[in-house]
Structure 1
Amino acid sequence: RQVCCDLRLVNMPLTAKALRSGSGKLISLMEMLEELLGEGRRILLFSQFTSMLTLIEEELKKRKIAYALLTGQTRDRRTPVK
């Protein structure tokens, strides 16, 4: 299931072409997020893979998109929700 999200999530050597092309799902997600944010929407995004959330977080930082992150490790959940 992780392979379907992004090849970087599985522990196997990747070719240079695979690394350059990126994840189709991540690219589509970022396009959708930018469009929805452009419309002034707020977005709640779920992933069962925290490693995928890490990749999404990297992309959000690159694009300077503000976000809050909640995982099983989050102790103070009220602050990010606010």
Structure 2
Amino acid sequence: MTVQKQILLLIRSLQERYGFACLFVSHDLGAVEQVADRVAVMQDGRIVEIGDRDDVFDRPRHAYTRALLDAAMLIDRHFADGAGARKAVTR
């Protein structure tokens, strides 16, 4: 297990245990997908889309969000065993 994966699991565990909010800023969409409940997508310093994680990742509304997801390698939610398998997102 990578250090990054351990940190993401620790953040999620602490959030669940203590019920605190966490502002997680990252360019790593795979990490965002693992740790976030809600996601804001920024372009040129402005929020262009905000919503529940699954809505933003599965049904992006803004063209910039769609372009980011099309270009990114995301952790496949179908491999929920934590193996860290990656796949290219195709739309």
Normalised to the residue count of structure 1, the TM-score between the two structures is: 0.42
1 or 2, which has the higher helix percentage? Answer: 1
* Bigger relative contact order, structure 1 or 2 (CA pairs below 8 A, ≥6 apart): 1
In terms of Rg, which structure is larger?
1
1 or 2, which has the higher strand percentage? Answer: 2
